Each structure stands twice: as structure tokens, then as C-alpha cells.
Chains A and B, each alone.
Chain A
Amino acid sequence: DVQMTQSPSSLSASVGDRVTITCQASQDISNYLNWYQEKPGKAPNLLIYDASNLERGVPSRFSGSGSGTDFTFTISSLQPEDIATYYCQQSDILPLTFGGGTKVEIK
């Protein structure tokens, strides 16, 4: 199975800050890397697919980059409504696997 290592596991930032989360795959997954936002009591919501493509309706402050084994997710200007847990997920090889999550809080 492809192991997904996500860091940090949590972070605290101020409104307006730039926030960066990294995800490392245990093997080359090309650009088959997706990012989700999960708020308490809600289902995950797809934000970025295939490493850098913004899903329909997702604000442009969210972005993703990377290929191979190393990927980055960025919130360019943190907003109060961005408080959530973020997960990366690889879709190159079955079984699909997720990172451990990054909990984002407001400082």
C-alpha cells in the first residue's frame, strides 16, 4: 500500500496568514494526489484533485502543487471558515490511501 505522510498534524495561524501543509507518498504517484477539507460532523469536501486542479466552486485561496512523492497544499490567506481538518489522498494505486490529517486552528 502507498503510505501518505502528512505534516504537520496540527497548526495554529492568524486570519490572513499563509498556511502550508505537506504530504509525502511512499512511492511515485505521479500527480494523483487530492486534498479534502473536513469540518466537524460533516462529510469531507474535495478541494483539489490531481495535485493542482481546483474543484468547482472552491475559493481560489486554496491551491495545490507537486508531483511524484512530494506535494504541498496552500491556503493563501486563512479565513475563519477554513477551520477544519485537511486530508491528502492518493488515487494512483488501489487501495486508495489518506494522510493522517492536519487540523487547522485560528490563533
Chain B
Amino acid sequence: QVQLVQSGAEVKKPGASVKVSCKASGYTFTGYYMHWVRQAPGQGLEWMGWINPNSGGTNYAQKFQGRVTMTRDTSISTAYMELSRLRSDDTAVYYCARARGKYSSSSSLDYWGQGTLVTVSS
């Protein structure tokens, strides 16, 4: 069965960086784009971008351009999302989510990780 397992909660100071991992299993990792979505406390869902695990190509939401880097390690079927220059309003649960359509960059998101809480506080 498809599973996405994310790394644990993080507490960071303003200005620092955080790197969240997302280990995939139960399917061909390189066949499906991986998206990252975040949710601030009590707020809605915000799309951050995607990575094509096959090519390593990325597409980031303009809001995060210059601060976010998405990478992958195909040898261990793991995607990563690194966010730099953290601010207090980056405090959120960060999710990885698989695109439903094979080889489709723009798609519904059919499997989600459990979420990683990132708290930014001085």
C-alpha cells in the first residue's frame, strides 16, 4: 500500500532553515510528482510547489521562490523540502502529497504524509 512517512516535528529560530523529508513506499517513486502543501494553525491549505522525482525538476509557488528548495533521493525514495530564512508566520504543518495522475504535474493529491509541524519561535 502507498505510504508517505514524514520526518518529525521541528522547532527553529527565526532566520534558520528547516528540511523536511518524505519517504515514499508502495509505488514507483519516480512515476508520480510530489507536492508540498502547508497549513498554518487554524488556517487553510497552501500549495508550495512540486518536484518531479524522475528528473528532479521543480516548480515553486511564487510566494516561496528564493526560499524553498525541493530535492529528492531516488535511491531511498525520499523527497525533501527545505525552507530557509524562516519567519514566525512559517509556523505550520507541512505535508507532502502525491499527485494522483502518473507523470502529471497538475493533479489532485491522492496520498498525503502525516504532516510535520514546524514551529518558528525565538
Contacts and interface: CB of A to CB of B under 8 A. Distances in A.
B62 interface: yes
Interface in B38-76: 44-47, 59, 61-62
Given A95-B47, A97-B47, A98-B44, A43 B108 contact: no
Interface size, B (range): 20 to 34
Interface in A21-62: 32, 34, 36, 38, 43-46, 49-50, 55
Contacts of A91: 106-108
A101 B109 CA distance: 16
B115 A43 contact: yes
Contact of B108 (A49, A95, A99): A49
B36 to A, nearest CB: 11
Interface size, A (range): 20 to 34
A91 B62 CA distance: 17
Contacts of B61: 95
29 contacts: A38-B45, A43-B112, A43-B114, A43-B115, A44-B37, A44-B109, A44-B112, A46-B100, A46-B109, A46-B110, A49-B100, A49-B108, A49-B110, A55-B110, A91-B106, A91-B107, A92-B106, A93-B106, A94-B59, A95-B61, A95-B62, A96-B35, A96-B47, A97-B47, A98-B46, A99-B44, A100-B44, A101-B44, A101-B45
Interface of A: 32, 34, 36, 38, 43-46, 49-50, 55, 87, 89, 91-101
Interface of B: 35, 37, 44-47, 59, 61-62, 95, 97, 100, 105-110, 112-115
